[in-house]
Every structure is written in C-alpha cells, then in structure tokens.
Amino acid sequence: MIRKSASAAVAAAALLLVGAGACTPTISYNGFQAREDKPQDVKVGIDTRSTVLTKLGSPSVVATFEPNIWYYVSQTTARSAYFRPKLRERDVVAITFDKDEKVTGVNAYKLKDGFKIAYSGRETPTRGRELSVLEQILGNVGRGGMLPQDQNDPGNPRGGGR
C-alpha cells in the first residue's frame, strides 16, 4: 500500500513538473546583437563611418531622409504557450555622422523612451460599388461565355478567321 502511494506521489510530481515546464516562456532575441564592441562604446569626434562599420557591422536601419543617421536596433520578447509575445526590452542606438564622416552623436534609447502609435480603424473606400450575392451569381448570364462561337469569327481564339 505504501509503495502504491509513493509511486502515485512520484507520478504526480513528474506530471506537475511537466505542466510547469509548459508555462515557461520562450525568450527570443531579434535585431542587432553586439558581439565584442557595443554601440555605446563609439566615441564622438574620434570614430568615423568606416570604423563604426568595422566595429559594429552594418546598421539595422539607415534613416530614410537622412543617410547620415544609422540605427542599431535590438529587442527581447517572451512568449508563453499560446499567448501573444510580450516585449521585454528594446534598445535603439542612433549614431549620427557629419559631412566628413566623423561621428557627431551617439544616442541610446530604451523601451520606455518609445511611444505607441494609435492606428486608425477607418478604411479607405474603393471606387465602384459592391455587388450583392444575387448580382454576383447572375452577373455572367448573357455575356456569351457558354454560347457556341462562329468558326469564321476573327476574334475566336480556337482557330478559323482565315
């Protein structure tokens, strides 16, 4: 009797451990991952575009309207089971260059420095009108796709027209 309850307790503990392991979040690292040198170690006035490229590699993003600003972006997310991933950490480092390709500024931003964008739920209307189900079903009746074609018709793709 004691052996049965002991084995049942071991089985229950194993089941509990497996169940708890399923709730462990999966951590994902995306974007720029610093290996040896960090973007914050870039020195203003000393480093140039080529030394930054050598130290850090190519940037994650180059500013669209200002090619003298490079962004190195990385983020960490955690996902548990079937829930949406939650953003844990985001690091953005903006490195600006002058016209002589010298570093003029290094700005580091964290997740708290960002802001959420409120997307508009409105839709842009398209031209034309929407057809009802009945109009869609009966829309091709009488357009001629199923009627026999005249063999001497030059518009007939199946030959004729000589």
The 10s digit of each residue's pLDDT in 66-92 is: 889 999 988 899 988 888 888 888 888
The 10s digit of each residue's pLDDT in 136-147 is: 778 777 666 555
d(CA 134, CA 131): 8
* Coil, helix or strand at residue 9: helix
d(CA 29, CA 81): 17
Average pLDDT, the chain: 78
* Coil, helix or strand at residue 135: helix
The whole model's pTM is what?
A: 0.57
The 10s digit of each residue's pLDDT in 99-114 is: 999 999 999 888 888 7
pLDDT band per the 50, 70, 90 thresholds, residue 19: low
The 10s digit of each residue's pLDDT in 38-70 is: 887 899 999 999 999 988 888 988 988 888 999
Q: Give the CATH number of domain 31-114; options: 1.10.8, 3.30.1450, 3.90.220, 3.30.310.
A: 3.30.1450
